[in-house]
Structure 1
Amino acid sequence: MLMLTKVFVYGTLCQGQRYHHIIAPFAKHTQKATVRGTLYDLPVGYPAMIEGDNPVKGELVELQNVPEALRLLDELEDYEPNRDTNEYERIVVKAVTERGDEVECYLYLYAPNRREWLAEHGTLVPGGDWPSFKG
C-alpha cells in the first residue's frame, strides 16, 4: 500500500493554533486548500468534520518522516486502525489547492459512532473556517 505524504488539517493543527507545534517539525510545505464536508466546533475546544458538501478551509501539509508524523497525529486524534472507539478516523480525500490542483491526502474525520453526541453538542461553523470562527 502506498503511503501518502500529505495531510489536510482544519483546526488546532493549523498554523497559529494550539497544536501546530506537533506537525511543524514534519512540515516540508504548507498551502491553503479546501475539502468538502461539514465542520462543527466542539465545546471541548477543537473542531470536528463529517461528510458533507460544504467547503471546509484548512491547510494541506506535505510531510517528511511520514510514519513518525502519522504516529503522532494518530495519537493526537485518538485514532487506531480497526478500533471502534476512535474519536476520529483517518481517511483519504481529495483537497483542492488555491491553484485548483486536486491532491489526495489524509484527513481526520469525526468517527461515525460519535455523531449523535456531535448533533447535540456541536456548533455548525459557517463558512467552514474553524480558525477564523474561533477568532
Structure 2
Amino acid sequence: MAAFVDLFVYGTLKQGFANHRAFCAQALRIRTAAIVGSLYDLPVGYPAVQVPDSSILLKAGQDPARDAARQRRFRGLAPPVPQVTQAAVHGEWIRLPDPARTLPRVDALEGVRPDGRGEYRRALVPAWTEDGPAALWVYWMPRLPRGARHLADGTWPARP
C-alpha cells in the first residue's frame, strides 16, 4: 500500500486554519498549489469547490487506502496547462502519511460517504504546484447551498 496520500486543500485544512492542526499536523510536505475549478464561500463559514467533470482523473472508491495506491499511477504525469478561460482555485498540496489511518479521518470531516450522498465528494484532479505538476485528491461539492458566494480570485477566505 501507499506510504502517503496527496491532497489539495483550500479551506479549513490549510496551514493556520481551524482543522489543520487536528488533521494535518503529521504532514510530510506542504506546498502551494492550484487546480481548475470554482471556489465558493458558504454561509456556514467554510468554502466549497466545484470542479469540471473533465478535470476528474479518478473518483474516490470504497477504500481510502486503495485510493492512495491508485493515486500513484498518476505521479509524474504532467497535466495540461489550464486554458486562460478556466478559473483557478488556490490552496495547498498536503502530503499525509499512513493513508489507511489519515484519509478516512479527513473523509469523515468532509462528509464523504461511501454511498456518494455526503456533502462533499473526493476526486483526483490535475494540480499545479511549486514543485511542478501533480495529481491530488480534492474534496468538492456537487450541489451548493443557498447563499454560496463565488470567490472569483479563487482564494479563501475572501480578501477584503
Asked if these proteins are the same fold (TM beyond 0.5), I'd say yes
For residue 51 of structure 1, what is the aligned residue in structure 2? Answer: 51
TM score, norm. by length of structure 1: 0.85
Match of 2:121 among 69, 89, 112: 89
- Please show how residues 1-135 of structure 1 align to structure 2 within 5 Å: 5-52=5-52, 53-81=86-114, 83-99=115-131, 101-110=132-141, 112=142, 114-115=143-144, 117=145, 120-131=146-157, 133=158
Cα distance in 1 between the residues matched to 2:93 and 2:151: 19
TM score, norm. by length of structure 2: 0.72
For these two proteins, the number of residue pairs brought into alignment is 127
Runs of 4+ in 1 over 2 A off after TM superposition: 1-4, 22-26
Q: Could you say what secondary structure the match of 1:26 adopts?
A: coil
Q: Could you say what secondary structure the match of 2:108 adopts?
A: helix
Cα RMSD, aligned residues only:
2.0
Q: Answer 1 or 2: higher relative contact order, Cα 8 Å, separation at least 6.
A: 2
Cα distance in 1 between the residues matched to 2:103 and 2:23: 9
Q: Is the 8 A contact 1:22 1:72 kept in 2?
A: no
Structure 2 residue runs without a partner (length 5+): 53-85
Q: Which letter maps to 2:48?
A: A
Identity of aligned residues (%): 35
Q: Is the 8 A contact 2:13 2:19 kept in 1?
A: yes
Larger radius of gyration: 2
Cα distance in 2 between the residues matched to 1:4 and 1:87: 25
Q: Which letter maps to 1:31?
A: R
| Per-residue deviation, 1:70 | 0.6
**More helix by percentage:** 1
